[in-house]
Structure 1
Amino acid sequence: MPSPLRRVSEVLVSTLVTVSLGLLAGCGEGYSEDDPFGEAQRALLNGVGSTAARAALTKRWAPIHYQDVDVTGSHSLGGKSDFLTRVDFDGDWSGTNNWDNTGSRLLSAHAYQSVVETSSHWYLLYMFFHPRDWSDNIFDSEHENDGEGVLLVVQRDGSEYGALVGAVTVAHKDFFSFVPSGSPLGSGAESVDGTLSLASFEGVLHPMTAQEAKGHGLKAWPAYDIVGDGVKYFPSLTLAEQPASATAVDVRYKLLDLYGGEGLWQRRELSTLFSGWGTFRGDTSGGCGLVAGNCSSNSANAPWGWDDGNDGPVLRGEIATDPAKLAAHYFSPSSQFSRTYTFNPYQGIGTDPNQP
């Protein structure tokens, strides 16, 4: 949890900015502790090819994230096994020691983001990582590494940040679709599974997502929710906090650019991290598996490995690499989705993804 001194400091900074900038601090999207002078927001006007532009856009729509936590059983580590973190939380890019190192390392909260652009929409993808997919039941399997997330569909309606019109979430080996109230989207070839709830954070509405404990399937809240213990995470561009307890209600997670130097896309061919295309390398060391044989290897995926096995023509990984195709399949009217990308580093389209 943030310290009282830091919270007092934030209030003072917010007050000074409001007094100094007057209406400028109150217009548009409002004050943000990450970017009080709006530099990142202004960068978006030049397109999404820069790190600052992607940071501004993905921060604007980043989920308020509810993480259910289970504190029972030795593999829960008192709830720590359900905390969000980054893939290299232990200081290296090996996928086979993440289970082993979960108990001894700081699990500062991070989420990975990427942006893909067409003339009609922005596609914002968020991946939440856990070092363990775990269980306290001897009949359930476990595995090292766990990456699940959500794709947000944002209509480019002429406003600076567009309008959030839909979401597709990843829960294990299935995708689920949601739309906010008033969305122009309806069910396509796949039925809409529910309503995407929104809540206010830093003066603007953000979508609400939630993950299960243990296996970490992700849906729009309240399709999943906190049951008993749980952590409430809020997005940041600068702060990455480890929850002080299994019931912490105000924890910041830091957004990392999937395309950037701290991201995963540049490391997609790294053999210590990936066992194959989009599949994290993981083994059975470190006590994984409550009984012999129920820990599986190489069982978690990065976004370009996510797949719903029964959604027709949408192929493995296209939720990241070809999200316009996925959106046109999942939602109607499909004709509103341009299929021509103006920025899509997954397909090699756009400016240098590492430029500042």
Structure 2
Amino acid sequence: MASPIRRAPGVLRSTAAALSLALCSACGEGASEDDPFGEAQRALLQGVGSAAARAALAKRWAPIHYQDVDVTGAHALGGRSDFITRVDFDGDWVGTNNWDNTGSRVLSAHAYHSVVETPSHWYLVYTFFHPRDWSDNIFEKEHENDSEGVLLIVQRDGSEYGALVGAVTVAHRDFFSYVPAGSPLRSGAESIDGTLSMASFEGQLHPITAQEAKGHGLKAWPAYDIVGDGLKYFPSLTLAEQPSSASDHDVRYKLLDIYGVEGLWPRRELSSLFSSWGTFRGDTSGGCGLVAGNCTTNAANAPWGWDDHDDGPSYRGEIATDPAKLAAHYFSPSSQFSTTYTFNPFKGIGADPNTP
């Protein structure tokens, strides 16, 4: 597991930024702090079959991510239970000790990304993981592991990174759809729930997503927002930082390719991590459940197990595995979405040969 980056506030990052700017003085358009010579960006021109191309596209559209934090209650761990991290934050790929280890391990910020391609669109899923779905109310359930996220729909318009036209977020057992200002998408079988807000980061506009404290449902900001304590995460291909406090507003999260050697998809059959297809294994150890019976086992899902409760069973996981179908259901006109995949490892099309 990669070691987290620790810093005195503002010091190490400002030094790194200065070095990157110096390196990039002659790099030209497309260079960044993460990729000072623009190599990942150029790789995208060859398609998304390479890890570098997927990383470039994922970084370009990765959300600025707001995380509300609750520091109260026995299971809050002073706010740590609301920090995002990687599934193997504790050094193993065992799902049943993540609740137990939340208070004693470094919670460096990560998010998993997947990229699926058709001739008309790119579909990017960002997965944010928490070791605990917790509560400070004895009448509410808790469970080990928590995985929620967002699908971003990017139209391939001939430009290098395309145009972001829509989003579908995962909040527990419901999906919510959003479009940025000026999007050509309209409501389909599902009504659009709001506007996808954007903000500038490293000179480019990124969508803003937000998760609630404790249960970690995810929507487009400001449908959820920081209330009191909270974190603001910004994407990186190299930095994975643990927040310095429960109100740190400048934290980098590292993007991990879900198909790659550090990813979840190659481990989809790992019984220590998954109890069934797309469902994380979790138990009641470590004090989960404020009262007896209030900890649910095997309750969290990976992206290929995400499901809106009223879309029907045929849509389970398709926000990741068959996003063109889901986009055509949620938005109109449906005819604009090609359903021919040119890269979709979930379906064995252009699968990455890397394995753990």
TM-score with structure 2 setting the length: 0.96
Distance in 1 of aligned mates of 2:236 and 2:7: 13
Deviations 1:43-75 (A, max 9, x none): 101110111010000000000000000000010
Superposition pairs for residues 3-22 of structure 1, below 5 Å?
Answer: 3=8, 4-21=10-27
Deviations 1:50-101 (A, max 9, x none): 1101000000000000000000001000000000000000000000000000
Distance in 2 of aligned mates of 1:2 and 1:33: 17
> Could you say which residue in structure 2 is the equivalent of 1:298?
298
How far the C-alpha of 1:313 sits from its partner, in A, is: 7.4
* Structural RMSD (CA): 1.3
> Is there any run of 5+ residues in structure 2 with no aligned partner, and where?
1-5
What SS does the aligned partner of 1:300 have? coil
Distance in 1 of aligned mates of 2:12 and 2:259: 31
Distance in 2 of aligned mates of 1:270 and 1:151: 25
How far the C-alpha of 1:309 sits from its partner, in A, is: 1.7
> Could you say which residue in structure 1 is the equivalent of 2:149?
149
Pick which of 248-257 and 307-316 moved more.
307-316
- Say how many residue pairs are matched: 349
Percent identity between matched residues is 80
Contact preservation (8 Å) 2:24, 2:37: no
CA 104–335 in structure 1, closer or farther in 2 if over 3 Å, else same? same
> Could you say which residue in structure 2 is the equivalent of 1:114?
114
Distance in 1 of aligned mates of 2:13 and 2:95: 36
Distance in 2 of aligned mates of 1:320 and 1:20: 38
Superposition pairs for residues 273-312 of structure 1, below 5 Å?
Answer: 273-312=273-312
Superposition pairs for residues 212-231 of structure 1, below 5 Å?
Answer: 212-231=212-231
How far the C-alpha of 1:36 sits from its partner, in A, is: 1.1
Where has structure 1 moved over 4 Å in runs of 4 or more?
none
Distance in 2 of aligned mates of 1:94 and 1:63: 28
Deviations 1:206-254 (A, max 9, x none): 0000000000000000000000000000000000000000000000000
Superposition pairs for residues 266-345 of structure 1, below 5 Å?
Answer: 266-312=266-312, 315-345=315-345
> Could you say which residue in structure 1 is the equivalent of 2:197?
197
Distance in 2 of aligned mates of 1:33 and 1:314: 42
> Could you say which residue in structure 2 is the equivalent of 1:259?
259
Distance in 1 of aligned mates of 2:286 and 2:193: 38
Q: Does 1:165 align with 2:165?
A: yes
Contact preservation (8 Å) 2:134, 2:142: yes
How far the C-alpha of 1:350 sits from its partner, in A, is: 1.2
Contact preservation (8 Å) 1:314, 1:325: no
Contact preservation (8 Å) 1:135, 1:141: yes
Contact preservation (8 Å) 2:259, 2:352: no
Distance in 2 of aligned mates of 1:224 and 1:314: 28
TM-score with structure 1 setting the length: 0.96
> Could you say which residue in structure 1 is the equivalent of 2:246?
246
